[in-house]
Amino acid sequence: MLDNLHDGHNTEFLYYDQHAEWDVDEAPVGLEAAAILLRSTAFFTRSSRGFCASDDNGFQRVCGAVSRLNTQEKTMRFTGKTALVTGGNSGIGFTTAKLLIAEGARVAITGRDRTKLDQAVADLGANSLGIQADLDDETAVESAFKQIKEVFGSLDIVFANAGISGPTPLGGTTAAAFEAILRTNLTGVFLTVQAALPLMGVGGSVILNGSVMRELGSPGSAAYSATKAGVTGMAKVFASELVQRGIRVNTVIPGGTRTPIWTRGARAGATLDATEEALAPAIPMARLATPEEVAKAVLFLASDDASGITAAEIVVDGGTIGAPRGAPMYRKA
């Protein structure tokens, strides 16, 4: 960025630095040092004379009172880290992978659809690895982690995000339809975390993707709701089992979120806007969450910022389960 640098004579300089933008009201060493700074990257330290700017070699060039210091350095919490995001070719998974990569991680994503997976990898760039896998299949899970080990060597973060939904009303559901949802959303999560453990060590973080559907009692959603309730219970067991290995396990609980899940399968032909309009009256914040809002909660739980947190949940639902009576449908006109 460009900003104004003033020396003791109140002379204005344009100064470029990729790390911070700053105004120096008083620079005792004067114009010459300020000019030198224009040709090098400056680093800032606090001293008795205010903030001091130094060049690449650490030689102090300018010290003075700083009236404004707005750090612009990009947060890179995951530099050198490796992550797995299952179901990472769309929606919350894709957005989470994108944000992890933006903060320095290398990320493996899984998906069943090769075309969508390839497109996601192309969009995510060189620090992504696409693995086509059906996580219902134990053999496929083993193969996926073999690829991850060969490319990454180890894993620091696992976001078990892959899941499916579908109507399972009483009186109209086959055992196969019901069990398919259980196998992907519950058994698949268990198999994923189990297979990841040999690649994880102290400081590792596992995040499971739950849902507010676990407690809404939504008609026709018995299988999906049961699996998300199961994920919540399983996460606490995982946390208890893995705490002595230094691995944290937490859950993110999304409410309705603007993802393709609302426009496919039994909902094919629906649009996100129409879905949001229909659901908004029951959501206190009167809108669906964005994938970025959920993904940022995942990144927090994956990061060292959450180093003291395990067996916890972050609910990203606009108040749906925490303050339901605040929804527009209950407000007085």
Catalytic residue positions? Answer: 224, 228
Give, for 214, the enclosing helix (H) or strand (E): helix 213-216
For 198, the token pair is 């040999």
Locate 154 and state its tokens: 């180890």
What's the rounded Cα separation, in Å, for the pair 278 and 269? Answer: 15
Q: By three-state DSSP, how is residue 17 classified?
A: coil
Q: CA-CA distance, 170 to 24, in Å (whole number)?
A: 70
Contacts of 128 (CB under 8 A, 6+ apart): 97, 101, 106, 107, 108, 109, 120, 121
Torsion angle of C-alpha atoms 143, 145, 149, 154, degrees rounded to 10: -170
44 and 51 in contact (C-beta within 8 Å)? Answer: yes
Under DSSP, is residue 285 helix (H, G, I), strand (E, B) or coil? coil
Environment class of residue 246 by beta-carbon count within 10 Å: exposed (0-12), middle (13-18) or buried (19+)?
A: exposed
- Measured CA to CA, the distance from residue 62 to residue 301 in angstroms comes to 40
Helix 175-182 × helix 222-242 angle, to 10°: 30
- What is the helix (H) or strand (E) element at residue 52, kind and residue range? strand 50-54
* Cβ neighbours for 150, distance < 8 A, ≥ 6 positions apart: none
